[in-house]
Structure 1
Amino acid sequence: MADTITAATAALETQRRLLVDEYVRRAWNMWQSLTPQDWWNDAVTQGAAAYITQQQMAFVRAMRRLGISYADIMLRLVGTTPQGQIPEYVVVRDNTDPWKVALRPADAYRSLAVQHPDIRPRGWDGLDKRVQEAVNNWLDMARNQLQDNADTDGTLAQNRATASRYEASGIRRYRRVIHPELSKSGTCGLCVVAATNTFTRPDLMPMHNRCHCTVAPITESNDPGLKLNGDDLQKIYRAAAAASGKKGYSTSAADLTKLRVDVTSNSELGPILTRAQSETIADTESLGEWHMPDMQMTNAQMRRMYERASEFNRHYQILADSGKDIESFRYDGRNYTFKSGPHLKQAWDYVRSLLEYSRGWLGLAA
């Protein structure tokens, strides 16, 4: 059984990596098409993010299908017949809709660039060394934000679809399965410790950024994840040594007790693994309490995107009709500045496309 699960996991990871890479490629190609001025033009960045949002939704659908396929293999291995109709698409994050997440590379770029107001290149070529290094840093930050979002959202979408299939098939207990072979540095200590636990609710299995753990079902007679995790026991000892500042492995009780984890609630992603007493917790609690994404939440977020696209469409039209170069307004607690430029029309088209998509999802008349 272990060999079959390992093969299924390898196939899962291959497909996961292909889907993530393709989504990141498409999204980054969009951001790379912007001029330096475009990065400061809300009309263009919102349009680019609107395009990426539809790419992200297609990506999440594919990741959910992958998660269901993996679940069906695991269920058959423990002697359970897959059952239940799982929604094709469910949003990944609470309190923040996909369009806002898609915009975060632009926010990351600006957050660094605003620290250097003297550097505002007119183009990407012919820059002196100091300016080029700064601009490269801004772009790297934007791409890293995109990659983080893709890895995190992809794994969550996959694992939630897997867990939903398990639950619909009568599974009531779950185990986190670590995969040291899927990371250049091996499984992190947080996941190794968490893998010793079982879960009775799939929505309470904590993750972390760029996590590659999967979910295995547990029946009365089968716990395949226990054997797989046991084969990686040395990872626990290595993590224990690292927690004590040592190299290699440690099996001493004193070192193992230093490797402790906490679970904190992230208001977008849900339960998040952190090292115990860690000062650096990626948390967004100010946004509100977390709830497991479902179809009701998906419809609510789709409506928010529809309303935002409707409002932005109105201001694109105002800018086009007025003959002015700038249209400034405030919406949903944020100030926006739409500027004329060579990419304005294309950006507007992307927003209108998202407007039509969300309208169709909600079943609204044009």
Structure 2
Amino acid sequence: MALTRLDLRYGASVRGIWTNVLGRVNRSFTGLGSWRDADVRAFQRQALPIILAGERQIASLTASYTEQLYRDANGWGPRVSLDMDSVTGTALRGVDPVEVYERPFKELRAALSNGASLDDAVTRGAHRLETLAKTDLQLARTHTVREVAADMPRFEYTVRELQGEYDCALCMIASTQRYHKRELAPIHPGCDCLVKTVTADYDPGQVIDEERLERIHELVEEALGRHDRGGRTVDYRKIIVANDHGEIGPVLGFAGQRFTGPDDINLPT
């Protein structure tokens, strides 16, 4: 599916929010000067309202975007009343954001305890912060799509649209699939793919872009040196799965991965 002008406008607006939120919270974290317990609270007082405001902006944009998609497809569309508290903040993970945003400090301290320099430890903490914030901003989008599409009877499925100049293999595989609208679109930390609703009078099947999927399989085969493609001894569609992470929902990963806690989600991006 080609990106429409509506998709591009929406994507640009969301990226603008990402850039603003991530830049501000990063400066807040790296500019602390010290990262002791008192600094944790100071950071949270400054950063959490910024992150929540970003989530709410993305939820509002996504609701309007999804409604417009429905109107464009059907000539009319219901006005959906979205409960912001159900698609932002604690609702995204089932965990208080205060607890979530202590994790960059834990990352920093763990690095120091393992002999890292302060500069390196701060960099690692900042990276963890960026991953957390990106994930929450994307969750606000996927939760909103699910909530809004629930009131749109002709929208049955969602698909993933790639919008970056470079996209990871996980997202590329997922972009060839369709998902039921009642399910959260699987993500990985840092994922920024566009989630689109689809009007379908019939189930198109799990694979919606066989040609792209086959090309990805060929590239994987070339990279891994597997030559028994015709025999299907390796089905690469089974390499990519949606693991159910207990906190953030479906997460894209490799078959066989299991998560024991929030620290175990450092997937490739």
Aligned length: 256
Tell me the equivalent position of 2:255.
276
d(CA) in 1 for partners of 2:125, 2:260: 19
**2:164 aligned partner, one-letter code:** L
Task: Determine helix, strand or coil for the equivalent of 2:92.
Answer: coil
d(CA) in 1 for partners of 2:190, 2:147: 21
Pairing partner for 1:140 from 114, 123, 127: 123
| Higher mean displacement: 265-274 or 250-259 | 250-259
Summarize the Cα distance change of 1:75–1:285 in structure 2 as closer, same or farther, 3 Å threshold.
same
Matched, 1:43 2:24: no
Shift of 1:191: 5.0
CA offsets per residue over residues 248-284 of structure 1, 9 Å max, x none?
xx99443871342222221210122222124xx4552
Pairing partner for 1:208 from 165, 171, 188: 188
**What does 1:334-353 correspond to in 2, within 5 Å?**
none
Tell me the equivalent position of 1:169.
152
- 5+ residue gaps, structure 1: 120-133, 287-366
Tell me the equivalent position of 1:219.
199
Task: Determine helix, strand or coil for the equivalent of 2:4.
Answer: helix
Shift of 1:244: 2.9
CA offsets per residue over residues 156-192 of structure 1, 9 Å max, x none?
101221221111233452122231x4152x3524552
| Higher mean displacement: 253-262 or 165-174 | 253-262
Summarize the Cα distance change of 1:223–1:211 in structure 2 as closer, same or farther, 3 Å threshold.
farther
d(CA) in 2 for partners of 1:154, 1:42: 26
TM-score after normalising by structure 1:
0.61
Task: Indicate if the aligned counterparts of 1:64 and 1:157 stay in contact, CA closer than 8 A.
Answer: yes
Shift of 1:194: 6.5
Q: Relative contact order (C-alpha < 8 Å, sep 6+): which is higher? A: 1
Task: Indicate if the aligned counterparts of 2:217 and 2:236 stay in contact, CA closer than 8 A.
Answer: yes
Tell me the equivalent position of 2:266.
none
Summarize the Cα distance change of 1:166–1:200 in structure 2 as closer, same or farther, 3 Å threshold.
closer
Tell me the equivalent position of 1:102.
101
d(CA) in 2 for partners of 1:96, 1:64: 19
CA offsets per residue over residues 29-58 of structure 1, 9 Å max, x none?
2112222xx21x212212212321111111
d(CA) in 2 for partners of 1:72, 1:8: 12
d(CA) in 2 for partners of 1:107, 1:151: 18
Tell me the equivalent position of 2:111.
112
Task: Indicate if the aligned counterparts of 1:71 and 1:166 stay in contact, CA closer than 8 A.
Answer: yes
- 5+ residue gaps, structure 2: 264-269
Shift of 1:197: 3.4
Task: Indicate if the aligned counterparts of 1:159 and 1:214 stay in contact, CA closer than 8 A.
Answer: no
Supply the RMSD in Å over aligned alpha carbons: 3.3
Task: Determine helix, strand or coil for the equivalent of 1:82.
Answer: coil
d(CA) in 2 for partners of 1:18, 1:263: 28
Task: Indicate if the aligned counterparts of 1:174 and 1:215 stay in contact, CA closer than 8 A.
Answer: no
Tell me the equivalent position of 1:257.
235
Tell me the equivalent position of 2:70.
75
TM-score after normalising by structure 2:
0.80
Task: Indicate if the aligned counterparts of 2:134 and 2:190 stay in contact, CA closer than 8 A.
Answer: yes
d(CA) in 1 for partners of 2:155, 2:67: 15
**What does 1:1-366 correspond to in 2, within 5 Å?**
5-35=3-33, 38-39=34-35, 41-79=36-74, 80-89=76-85, 90-91=88-89, 92-116=91-115, 134-171=117-154, 173-179=156-162, 181-184=163-166, 186-189=167-170, 191-193=172-174, 195-203=176-184, 205-221=185-201, 230=209, 233-234=211-212, 236-246=213-223, 252-253=229-230, 254=232, 257-260=235-238, 261-278=240-257, 281-284=258-261
